[in-house]
């Protein structure tokens, strides 16, 4: 019996979704393997893989991002910068578009940290929409941790400086995703309130 055109379209849509899920699972496995010996700088020393998963989840649930390449690149966004992964390896496993997104959000670790931070501010307005969304979700995740689960060796002023710098980067990302921008504004407001409470407690 011949399938109707509607059934064929539904079948193709289901097949495409299955391919997306397969690619996403592959990316999670790849990223987990690459980051397996790394931990976040938070007080608990949580597994590093929690961070890219948080970024991807934020893109999906808050930003309503449905581009599978952006979600996969979010899972992989720190692999080139923080592990021995190469851009060509990303392209081999996940394609040219994912490689491009990952490279857009990757700092050049051969440069001094201050220069990397300056370049993030300078480059932010010129990123692709997908890269802007990844970087915005990344900043939300990071400022949350800096405020509510800070590294034990980060003094108060370093935390304040990070929030100030992150806001300057995000100023160049605005216009890419209203939902994420609203969450950033709420998160940085809560973060500043937390830092104010922390310094008040120290003074007390």
**Which of 67, 82, 167, 198 is flagged as catalytic?**
82
For residue 124 the two structure tokens come to 């932010």
81, 89, 161, 181: the active-site residue: 81
At 96 the three-state DSSP class reads helix
- Placement of tokens 């300057």 in the chain: 168
Structure tokens at 19: 């391919």
Distances (CA, A) of 135 to 2, 15, 22, 106, 132: 47, 30, 24, 10, 5
CA 167 to chain centre: 15
User: For residue 10, what are its two tokens?
Assistant: 């539904």
Active-site residue 42, yes or no? no
Q: Which residues of 20-39 are buried (b: 16+ CB within 10 A; e: fewer)?
A: beebbeebbebbeebbeeee
Dihedral angle over CA of 165, 167, 170, 172, nearest 10: -80
**33 an active-site residue?**
no
Catalytic residues: 81-82
């Amino acid at each position: 019996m011949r399938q109707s055109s509607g059934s064929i379209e539904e079948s193709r849509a289901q097949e495409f979704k299955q391919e997306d899920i397969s690619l996403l699972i592959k990316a999670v496995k790849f990223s987990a393997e690459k980051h397996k010996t790394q931990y976040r700088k938070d007080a608990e020393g949580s597994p590093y893989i929690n961070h890219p998963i948080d970024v991807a989840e934020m893109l999906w649930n808050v930003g309503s991002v449905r581009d599978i390449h952006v979600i996969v690149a979010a899972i992989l966004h720190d692999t080139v910068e923080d592990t021995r992964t190469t851009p060509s390896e990303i392209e081999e496993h996940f394609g040219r578009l994912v490689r491009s997104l990952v490279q857009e959000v990757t700092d050049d670790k051969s440069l001094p940290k201050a220069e990397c931070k300056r370049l993030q501010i300078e480059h932010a307005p010129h990123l692709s929409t997908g890269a802007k969304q990844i970087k915005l979700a990344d900043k939300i995740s990071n400022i949350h941790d800096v405020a509510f689960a800070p590294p034990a060796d980060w003094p108060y002023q370093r935390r304040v400086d990070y929030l100030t710098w992150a806001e300057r980067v995000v100023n160049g990302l605005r216009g890419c995703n209203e939902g994420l921008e609203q969450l950033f504004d709420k998160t940085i407001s809560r973060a500043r309130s937390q830092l104010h409470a922390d310094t008040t407690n120290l003074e007390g």
